[in-house]
Amino acid sequence: MAEATIPLKLTAKDFKSDQEVRWCPGCGDYAILAAVQQFMPELNIPRENIVFVSGIGCSSRFPYYMNTYGMHSIHGRAPAIATGLSVSRPDLSVWVVTGDGDALSIGGNHLIHALRRNVNLKILLFNNRIYGLTKGQYSPTSELGKITKSTPTGSADSPFNPLSLALGAEATFVARTIDSDRKHLQSVLRAAAEHDGSAFIEIYQNCNIFNDGAFELLKDPGTKDDHLIRLEHGQPITFGAQGQFCVVHPAGGFGLSVRETASVAPEDVLVHDATVDDPAYAFALSRLSGSDLGTTPIGVFRSVRRESYDTLVQEQLATAKAGATGTPEEMLSGLLASGDTWTIL
């Protein structure tokens, strides 16, 4: 992130564009937009140095509503477009807004490669587990057997777990949050913004038209405490209204398990460490949550330091330029005349 020494004193209003917001009334995207607009002044980055790039889908209309630079591009390609922008303009703060269909179906390849490269992008994946803009087909995060317009007898393909996928690509920053929890959402944005390299944030987002209540288990005051696991770096992983559940690493197993806290020795309760270098730990955390959302961690799963693609590319350019002498025109002349030449008088 750029370090501006003078506070810019921007407000959420400064980040609202003059365009009328056209999501369906009640869409979770409104809450995310408001949370992002309210958070942006914290960055203390001039608006002109911020770019939002999106693909296609409901979520991808997002850049039109941000009073920054923005590009609403084509389906699935936002990570690739943003990569070209970010690597050639390291002075910019580049954000990608995408959805479950955009990022995980048509654009799956670009997503995993952006994460693998660790491009300095902040990627917000709005996951509503449905295709909204095309009016209600199942998505690559829809649960198996999902009945939709295109799957009247139920979908036959298993969903992706977006965080497992990102961690499989060894993303350096991986987090999950929920549209309706503004405070938590902004805390995750903050951590992502501070991260140098790719930051991948899955945001559970309600589509009230085609998949209403998909995340209700995690939102309903009556159920959320028993199903939502709030990860905090350095803290034991417990949940439930009274902290009656916890996460442990059973001896002899690969993964993590949920236990009743009372049945576990205090020192056996897993303490969350987002900085574990081996992605296997965060991957195991991501596996706690299946399609049924029964035990769903939110927060920062992984935040590790690895040189970003942008930095490495810029270093190579800087090294090459440091060894150069002469004006570009002189260097070009030399280059054109390199190799075996001969002169005719």
Partner 1 sequence: MAEQVSDAAPAKQVQQLERVVIRFAGDSGDGMQLTGDRFTSETAQLGNDISTLPNFPAEIRAPAGTLPGVSSFQVHFADYDILTPGDSPNVLVAMNPAALKANVADLPPGADIIVNTDEFTKRNLIKVGYAVSPLEDGSLARFRVHPVALTSMTVGALADLDVSKKDAERAKNMFALGLVSWMYSRPHESTLRFLERKFAKRPELVAANIAAFKAGWNFGETTETFTVRYEVKPAKMAAGTYRNITGNAALALGLVAAGVRAQLPVFLGAYPITPASDILHELSKHKRLGVTTMQAEDEIAAVAAAVGAAYGGALAVTTTSGPGVALKGESISLAIALELPLVIVDVQRAGPSTGMPTKTEQADLNMALYGRHGEAPLAVIAPKSPSDCFHAAIEAARIALTYRTPVILLSDNYVANGSEPWLLPEVGDLPDLRVEFATEPNGEDGRFLPYLRDPETMARPWAVPGTPGLEHRIGGLEKADRTGDISYDPANHDFMVRTRAARIDGIPVPDVEVDDPDGDASVLVLGWGSTYGPIGAACRRLRQRNLPIAQAHLRHIAPLPANLGEVLRRYDRVVIPEMNLGQLAHVIRAKYLVDALPYNQVRGLPFTATELANMLEDVVKNG
In the complex, the residues that contact partner 1 under the rule CB under 8 A are 17, 19, 46-51, 53, 56, 63-64, 66-74, 77, 80-89, 91-92, 109-110, 113, 313, 316-317, 319-321, 323-324, 328-329, 331-333, 335-345
CB of 7 to partner 1, least distance (A): 17
CA–centroid distance for 202 within its chain: 5
Phi, psi (rounded to 5 degrees) for 258: -100, 135
Between 126 and 138, CB nearer to partner 1: 126
Please, which residues have CB within 8 angstroms of residue 189's CB and are 6 or more apart in sequence?
A: 35, 36, 39, 122, 201
Q: How far apart are CA 235 and CA 15, in angstroms?
A: 35
CB of 125 to partner 1, least distance (A): 18
CB of 313 to partner 1, least distance (A): 6
Structure tokens, 204: 């559970």
Between 262 and 335, CB nearer to partner 1: 335
Q: How far apart are CA 6 and CA 1, in angstroms?
A: 14
207: closest CA among 23, 19, 21, 22? 23
Between 67 and 238, CB nearer to partner 1: 67
Confirm if 306 and 228 have CB atoms less than 8 A apart: no
Between 243 and 334, CB nearer to partner 1: 334
CB of 122 to partner 1, least distance (A): 15
CB of 161 to partner 1, least distance (A): 21
Between 93 and 261, CB nearer to partner 1: 93
Confirm if 209 and 132 have CB atoms less than 8 A apart: yes
CB of 16 to partner 1, least distance (A): 12
Between 37 and 73, CB nearer to partner 1: 73
Confirm if 163 and 174 have CB atoms less than 8 A apart: yes
